[in-house]
């Protein structure tokens, strides 16, 4: 997983990219120049129009395709951590270029309780700089997570590699480290 520090300077992982998903192996890639960086405003209005209005700090994670092996593992990992996120006061929103019907089936089949935003025309995905060409599968969202503060400002960017199952805990730990999440739940 590659993260971008608070100062916005790029930090690179080992450069091996992501492998093993049914979409095939991707070569090392550099984030698109339009990739939102730390300090940028996330287009939260696009989420609100989709019914996912942000009410405070949030994790918005982009993924390629409902029902694929790695995307299912990542969604299940976020779902397992959902109570921790809720107790910490941090929303979780997943975004892909799948349509509403696909999201509804995926959420039902996987027991996903957080909001999944459909972006079938890839408007939001392109706007935040995570639209990627997957060859014969077309242009889909890259596996990138944005950690937002309560005003919708990007506080951290994570390019997610192969280990999608530990990613949700790492993001929550970073939210707590940055003071965006409660360590033990809201104070009375």
Name which of 59, 139, 63, 145 is nearest 106 in CA terms. 63
Phi/psi at 155 (nearest 5 deg)? Answer: -105, -20
Q: Chain-centre distance of CA 56, in angstroms? A: 16
Catalytic option among 71, 90, 141, 148: 71
pLDDT of residue 61: 98
* 3-state DSSP assignment of residue 110: helix
Binned average pLDDT, 10 residues per bin, the chain of 188 residues: 42 33 41 78 93 94 96 96 96 97 96 96 96 92 97 95 90 95 60
For the chain, what are the domain ranges? 2-7+35-177
pLDDT of residue 34: 78
- Residue 16's contacts (CB-CB under 8 Å, 6 or more residues apart) are 28, 161
pLDDT of residue 184: 56
Given the candidates 1.10.3720.10, 3.40.30.10, 1.20.1250.20, 3.40.50.10800, the CATH classification of the domain at 2-7+35-177 is 3.40.30.10
15: left (phi over 0), alpha (psi -120 to 50) or beta: left
Does the active-site annotation cover 105? no
- Token pair for 166: 């530990």
In this structure, how many other beta carbons lie within 10 angstroms of the beta carbon of residue 41? 11
């Amino acid at each position: 997983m590659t993260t971008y520090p608070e100062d916005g300077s790029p930090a690179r992982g080992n450069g091996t990219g992501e492998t093993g998903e049914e979409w095939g192996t991707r070569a090392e890639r550099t984030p698109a120049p339009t990739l939102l960086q730390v300090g940028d405003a996330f287009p939260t209005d696009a989420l609100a129009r989709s019914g996912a209005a942000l009410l405070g700090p949030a994790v918005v994670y982009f993924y390629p395709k409902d029902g694929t092996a790695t995307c299912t593992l990542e969604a299940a990992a976020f779902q397992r951590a959902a109570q921790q996120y809720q107790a910490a006061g941090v929303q979780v929103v997943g975004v892909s270029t799948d349509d509403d019907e696909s999201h509804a089936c995926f959420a039902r089949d996987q027991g996903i309780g957080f909001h999944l935003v459909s972006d079938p025309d890839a408007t939001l995905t392109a706007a935040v700089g995570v639209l990627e060409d997957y060859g014969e599968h077309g242009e889909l969202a890259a596996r990138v997570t944005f950690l937002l503060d309560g005003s919708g400002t990007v506080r951290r960017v994570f390019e997610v590699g192969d280990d999608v199952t530990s990613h949700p805990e790492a993001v929550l730990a970073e939210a707590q480290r940055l003071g965006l999440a409660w360590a033990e739940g809201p104070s009375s």
